[in-house]
Amino acid sequence: MSITVHITNIIQENVIKAIQQLYGETIALEQVQVGATRKEFEGNYTIVTFPFTKIAKKKPEEIGEELGAYLVTQVDEIQAFNVIKGFLNLVVSNGFWMDFLERIHHRTDYGQHPANGEKVMVEFSSPNTNKPLHLGHIRNNLLGWSCSKILEAAGYEVVRVQVVNDRGIAICKSMLAWQKFGAGATPESTGIKSDHFVGDYYVLFEKKFQEEFKNWQQSVAGQQVFQSRKKSDQDETTFFKEFKNLYFNEYSALGAEARAMLRQWEAGDAATVALWRTMNGWVYHGFEETYHKLGVSFDKYYYESNTYLLGKDIIEDGLAQGIFYKKPDGSVWVDLTDAKLDHKVVLRSDGTSVYITQDLGTARLRYEDFGVSRMVYVVADEQNYHFQVLFEILKRLGEPYAAGLHHLSYGMVDLPTGKMKSREGTVVDADDLIAEVIAEARANSQERDTLSDVSQAEREDILRKIGLAALKFFIIKVHPQKRMIFDPKESVDLQGQTGPYVQNAYVRIQSVLRKAEDSAQALLKNPKSLEYNTLATDEKDLIAQLYEFPGLIQEAARTYDPSVIAAYCYTLAKSYHKFYHDFPILKAESEAAVAFRLKLCSAIAHTLRFGMNLLGIEMPERM
């Protein structure tokens, strides 16, 4: 976007001048409220005059009249005004809108801000390697991806990373189950997508473990434990449910084997490490396929197997600086009670790391790797407390990037029946879901029969774009902070406030431009459009909406909130659909009108495409 000052700033500054001249008081910029004029009134921008009544000692209406008169004479872009109660509505001149459209209609990157020299890291996805990706990961990936795109559009250089949790007891469970029951099967030999293949062994382990646990519960040993350890009024079922973890760690044969495997892995046992590499390799292969389908990618992968020992040096730093303290047993703590965050262990008494030690170390490592001034962590809201603690510690340590840390926290995706639970088999698988939405788009398209003349490959590409748009838009349009409900049984909507609705506005424009053929190019360059001086309200509104786009991107970047871009794209598409319905374009009343409307269409198409791209949504040329 050009460096031109937004018109609301011009208005604000002139209101300040007017108040100075008329009433002899100096006010701050923030005191001048300039908003968009509501549809029912005439005008583009509205100033609220109530706050000035004390300064002016006049009625809001009088102030409105006086300010309006001043602005019309002093500001070229303001053509007229009207006052309704305490609201001063300003009408921006046609010339201003026309000039603006002339400047941007050909720009495919309208909305892109110039580089600001700042580098920001966005961490997202961050899966465990024992299970395939599910609906929760989809929300995470979409938020992370669009957040990074928005930051780029706002002028940042972005580094996309993910931290892969590739170690620990969970992957050992899959490994063990495969070793014991797999009989040498591979993803290739079974034809199962490789991350699902590994996930199936994780599920198999849990199944075998449950069987073992059940048998033990009936055994003499199990009953003895129940009798001796149960709390007074606890029944058998409840007791054993709560006892599960302890059983795994202290009684289970399978548990012992899995833990032994983890120890061997940590000791660097060659065979165990080889198996671990093989199975994680399968998982990564499957993940990449899903990422590819989702349209996300990463610049750098951090593996916890490499980073889980990091952070010890930071502990030393913190102790030296007196930020941490050591307990007699050797464990290291931080006192964050003055930040309302309690005491927190940062190193175990045996000298090994806890989760946050690793995160401290990884933060510093990333800074050393990329020199970013900001880091955004896209992680579900169940970790809010963890990130408050992490950021507070990094701040106290005086890390150079500490002021630029942000936790993009998002709510869980619930099913109509409640939470997704893997144990109850209600987890919505990412690959299944993607396939379903595309199938839905296909079914819908067949009824419509508008794509019968395109090639098979092209049609599949279009359907893929439509299906994914439906899914992505549905998720992105909800404010990240809110929990959202997703009903997988009810097929994703393709009509109304949806991705395909926005795509359709774009497709209609492309269709018009195709119809205009050669003349379109000439008309798009035709300065005659400037002679079109009877701008209808709908046309003016469309240009005014386009005008707000760059500012909105900044807003979305500032608040790390992609949902505002989704809302914008929808509103713009809605306005266009109405315009398209009510106004002829190629058969407009004059050559100037045709040229103008084509430029308007072109600008809208570019903006919609750019905006949807920020959400990770591709635009088809037809549908």
Partner RNA sequence: GGUCCCGUAGCUCAGCUGGAUAGAGCAACUGACUUCUAAUCAGUAGGUCUCAGGUUCGAAUCCUGACGGGAUCACCA
C-beta closer to RNA: residue 225 or 593: 593
CB 135 within 8 A of CB 487: no
Instruction: Specify the residue, 86 or 318, whose C-beta has the smaller distance to RNA.
Output: 86
Instruction: State the angle between helix axes of 253-267 and 236-250 in degrees (0 to 180), rounded to the nearest 10.
Output: 30
Q: Per-residue string for binding with RNA, 435-454, x by CB under 7 A?
A: ------x--xx--x-xx---
d(CA 413, CA 476): 12
Give the footprint of RNA on residues 245-274 (CB under 7 A). Answer: none
Nearer to RNA, 48 or 524 (CB): 48
In whole angstroms, the minimum distance from the beta carbon of 219 to RNA comes to: 26
Residue 331 near RNA by CB under 7 A: yes
User: Which part of the chain contacts RNA (CB under 7 A), choosing from 3-11, 147-155, 220-228, 474-482?
Assistant: 474-482
Scan residues 304-323 and list those touching RNA (CB under 7 A): 304, 308
Beta carbons of 81 and 91 less than 8 angstroms apart: yes
Kindly identify the residues of this chain, within the stretch 504-543, that bind RNA according to CB under 7 A: 504, 507-508, 510-512, 515
Residues 556-585 that bind RNA (CB under 7 A): 563-564, 567, 570, 574, 577-578, 580-585
User: Residue from 266, 342, 369, 589 that binds RNA (CB under 7 A)?
Assistant: 342
- Nearest distance from residue 440's CB to RNA, in Å? 8
DSSP 23-42: H-----GGGS-EEEPPTTSS
CB neighbours of residue 587 within 10 Å: 8
Q: Which stretch binds RNA (CB under 7 A): 104-112, 294-302, 383-391, 519-527?
A: 383-391
Residues 6+ apart with CB under 8 A from 390: 356, 359, 360, 363, 405
Binders in 152-191 for RNA, by CB under 7 A: 165, 168
Q: Which stretch binds RNA (CB under 7 A): 39-47, 203-211, 261-269, 279-287?
A: 39-47
Strands 45-48 and 78-84: unpaired
The CA–CA distances, whole Å, from 193 to 50, 126, 190, 293 equal 64, 20, 9, 14
Q: Return d(Cα 204, Cα 217) in angstroms, integer.
A: 20
* Helix runs in 295-332, H state only: 304-307, 312-320
- Which residue type sits at 66? E
Residue number with CB closer to RNA (186 or 383): 383
Q: How far is the CB of 494 from RNA (least distance, A)?
A: 4
CA atoms within 13 A of residue 263's CA, in its CB half-sphere: 6
285 is a contact residue toward RNA (CB under 7 A): no
Does residue number 586 form part of the binding site for RNA (CB under 7 A)? yes
3-state helix/strand/coil string of 42-106: CCCEEEECHHHHHHHCCCHHHHHHHHHHHHHHHCCCEEEEEEECCEEEEEECHHHHHHHHHHHCC
Site string for RNA, 207-246 (x = CB under 7 A): ----------------------------------------
Q: Which listed range, 222-230, 249-257, 341-349, 431-439, lies at the site for RNA (CB under 7 A)? A: 341-349
| Closest C-alpha to 299, from 167, 153, 152 | 152
**Shortest approach of RNA to residue 175 CB, angstroms?**
17
Which 2-31 residues touch RNA, going by CB under 7 A? none
Q: Which of 287, 107, 121 has its CA nearest to residue 197?
A: 287
Compute the least distance from the CB of residue 300 to RNA, in Å.
Answer: 19
Report if residue 348 touches RNA, rule: CB under 7 A. Answer: yes
Binding to RNA (CB under 7 A): which residues in 384-403?
384-386
Interface pick for RNA out of 131, 134, 366, 477 (rule CB under 7 A): 477
Sole binder of RNA in the list 14, 33, 93, 554 (CB under 7 A) = 33
Site map for RNA, 85-124, x if CB under 7 A?
A: xxx-x-----------------------------------
Helices (H), 449-582: 456-476, 499-525, 537-559, 563-582
Q: Is 589 in the site for RNA (CB under 7 A)?
A: no
Q: Which of 233, 338, 350, 453 binds RNA (CB under 7 A)?
A: 350
Q: Please give the angle made by the CA atoms of 245, 248 and 251, to the nearest 5 degrees.
A: 125
Contact 64, 83 (CB under 8 A): yes
Identity of the amino acid at 39: K
Is residue 500 at the binding interface for RNA, with CB under 7 A as the rule? yes
Nearer residue to RNA within complex by CB, 319 or 412:
412
The structure tokens listed for 551 are 């500012």
Applying CB under 7 A, among 106, 326, 327, 558 the residue interacting with RNA is 327
3 state DSSP class of 520: helix
- Residue at 318: amino acid letter: G
50 residue type, one letter: F
* Cβ 279 to RNA shortest distance, Å: 18
Q: Compute the distance between CA of residue 477 and CA of residue 545 in angstroms, rounded to an integer.
A: 18
* Contact status: 58 vs RNA (CB under 7 A): no
- Taking alpha carbons only, the member of 406, 454, 387 closest to residue 560 is 406
Q: Provide, rounded to whole angstroms, the least separation between the CB of residue 68 and RNA.
A: 12
Asked if 341 and 392 count as a contact pair (C-beta separation under 8 A), the reply is yes
Closest separation in Å from C-beta 500 to RNA: 4
From candidates 93, 112, 264, 383, binder to RNA by CB under 7 A: 383
- C-beta closer to RNA: residue 38 or 277: 38
Comparing CA positions, the residue from 375, 439, 381, 383 lying closest to residue 412 is 381
> What is the closest distance, in whole angstroms, from the C-beta atom of residue 88 to RNA in the complex?
8
| Minimum CB distance to RNA smaller for 47 or for 375 | 47
